[in-house]
């Protein structure tokens, strides 16, 4: 025989038996001291458990009160900081206002440099023969994306990169995907006030044209050549 392993189950086990053990102390060959000890210690354990549960709930309530109090203090503090900042900006000596308030002056904004190179360029040819492009890249600072395209003929001649479009989204559908070529390649770069990134790694889309066969996509559209070859 043994008691349950869980603490509260042990308390319930003893509470269910302490009275019976005391009433039948002699028949169970328990000493009076043993019976009394079980009964009194079990009562003490119950009182301690109930006190623990009450304090646990009080601690939860205190935590909720603390969160509400600090939220209010933070709101008021932020409001005061905004006022101090406005006062300093309109002052002939902003540094003196910040020093008086024991507040560090805001750091001047550093201009954003060129954005990172777009990554994970993906191309899927839809049922209408259009190249659907998507890629990953930052939009921070009003970044936009320039898409370029080049073709490779069925005789293996690769043309120059030509700029198709500049878009703000990280996706583009080439409505004039070329046909009659062995493949078409795309690349993307990011641009913002701080300058352009390098172009992404080119991704080539096979078009399935060979010899004098016609490609599966629509006619090639006019584009503006960039004059820049792939690096």
Q: Does residue 220 share a domain with residue 125? A: yes
Q: Does residue 123 share a domain with residue 83? A: no
Q: Does residue 63 share a domain with residue 127? A: no
Range of the domain at 65: 7-87
Whether 96 is in a domain gets the answer: no
User: In the numeric block, which tokens belong to residue 146?
Assistant: 């320039």
- Dump pLDDT digits (tens) for 170-216: 999 999 999 889 999 999 999 999 999 999 999 999 987 543 333 33
Whether 94 is in a domain gets the answer: no
CA torsion sign, 204 to 210 to 215 to 219? Answer: positive
Q: What is the residue whose two structure tokens read 């302490």?
A: 18
- Chain center to CA of 49: 42
DSSP secondary structure code for residue 197 in this structure = -
Specify the CATH number for the domain of residue 200: 2.60.40.10
What pLDDT does 112 receive?
87
Q: Does residue 156 share a domain with residue 217? A: yes
Q: Does residue 134 share a domain with residue 36? A: no
Whether 110 is in a domain gets the answer: no
Q: What is the residue whose two structure tokens read 């009182």?
A: 47
Domain count, the chain: 2
Please tell me the distance from the alpha carbon of residue 185 to that of residue 173, in angstroms, as a whole number: 14
Whether 95 is in a domain gets the answer: no
DSSP secondary structure code for residue 156 in this structure = S
Q: Does residue 127 share a domain with residue 67? A: no
- Chain center to CA of 157: 44
User: In the numeric block, which tokens belong to residue 85?
Assistant: 């900042």
Q: Does residue 213 share a domain with residue 171? A: yes
On the question of pLDDT at 221 being above 80, the answer is: no
Q: Where are the alpha helices (DSSP H) in 2-144?
A: 7-23, 32-89, 94-100
Instruction: For strands 203-206 and 131-136, give the pairing.
Output: unpaired
CA torsion sign, 206 to 211 to 215 to 218? Answer: positive
Q: Does residue 124 share a domain with residue 49? A: no
Whether 98 is in a domain gets the answer: no
What pLDDT does 212 receive?
33
Whether 107 is in a domain gets the answer: no
Facing residues of 151 across strands? Answer: 184
Whether 103 is in a domain gets the answer: no
Whether 97 is in a domain gets the answer: no
What pLDDT does 209 receive?
57
């Amino acid at each position: 025989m043994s008691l349950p392993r869980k603490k509260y189950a042990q308390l319930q086990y003893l509470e269910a038996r302490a009275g019976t053990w005391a009433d039948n102390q002699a028949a169970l060959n328990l000493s009076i001291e043993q019976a009394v000890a079980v009964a009194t210690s079990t009562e003490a354990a119950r009182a301690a458990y109930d006190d623990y549960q009450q304090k646990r709930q009080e601690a939860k309530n205190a935590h909720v009160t603390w969160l509400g109090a600090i939220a209010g203090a933070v709101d008021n503090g932020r409001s005061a900081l905004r006022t101090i900042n406005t006062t300093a900006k309109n002052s002939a000596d902003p540094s003196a206002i910040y020093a008086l308030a024991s507040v560090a002056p805001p750091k001047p904004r550093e201009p954003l440099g060129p954005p990172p190179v777009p990554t994970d360029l993906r191309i899927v040819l839809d049922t209408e023969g259009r190249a659907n492009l998507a890629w990953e890249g930052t939009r921070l600072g009003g970044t936009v994306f320039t898409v370029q395209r080049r073709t490779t003929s069925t005789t293996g001649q690769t043309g120059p990169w030509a700029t198709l479009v500049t878009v703000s989204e990280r996706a583009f559908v080439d409505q004039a995907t070329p046909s009659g070529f062995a493949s078409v390649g795309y690349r993307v770069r990011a641009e913002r006030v701080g300058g352009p990134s390098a172009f992404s790694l080119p991704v080539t889309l096979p078009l399935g044209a060979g010899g004098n066969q016609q490609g599966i996509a629509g006619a090639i559209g006019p584009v503006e050549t960039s004059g820049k070859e792939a690096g």
